[in-house]
Amino acid sequence: MKPGASDPFADDEETESAAEAEAAEQETAGSETVDAPTNAEAATSDSSDADGSDASTESRNGGTDTSEFPYIYRRDKVKDERPDVHQLFVRDETDTLARDAERDLEKLLGEDVYRLDAREAIYLAGMRHLDEAADVLREWGYDR
């Protein structure tokens, strides 16, 4: 019979002593083979050795490299990959324009956009069009 299967015709004492012996055997075997790989682990390492690869190569090549994904899909939180803080104090009219621009971006894209994403995109767009930023500075009195 399989271990653990009960024999309906056996005495209870035999079953208890067999179960105790099996448990003691498992404890002894378990303490001796703590560092030894299991059969599944050994089979995995044998198969990876046979083809000349190892698990780290498989995870690099077969696993998903998150850097291949666009920023919004590879992050867990909106602040991921944003270690720098650029605190920006703005006038009321700029704040109103910024909020309007954020809503306009959502309409253009047809989806919700995190405020932090919208603000950084607007900031980057301004850096890509410095001539327009210079025009704003001239309106404020620079370059006279």
What would the mean pLDDT of 88-95 be, rounded to a whole number?
94
State the pLDDT at residue 101: 97
Higher pLDDT, 58 or 115: 115
Half-sphere exposure of 19 (CA within 13 A, CB side): 10
State the pLDDT at residue 52: 44
Q: What 3 state SS string does 104-132 have?
A: HHHHHHCCCCCHHHHHHHHHHHHHHCHHH
pLDDT above 50: residue 69: yes
State the pLDDT at residue 19: 52
- What b/e sequence results for 27-36 when a residue is b if at least 16 CB atoms lie within 10 Å of its CB, and e otherwise? eeeeeeeeee
pTM attached to this predicted model: 0.51
What would the mean pLDDT of 18-30 be, rounded to a whole number?
49
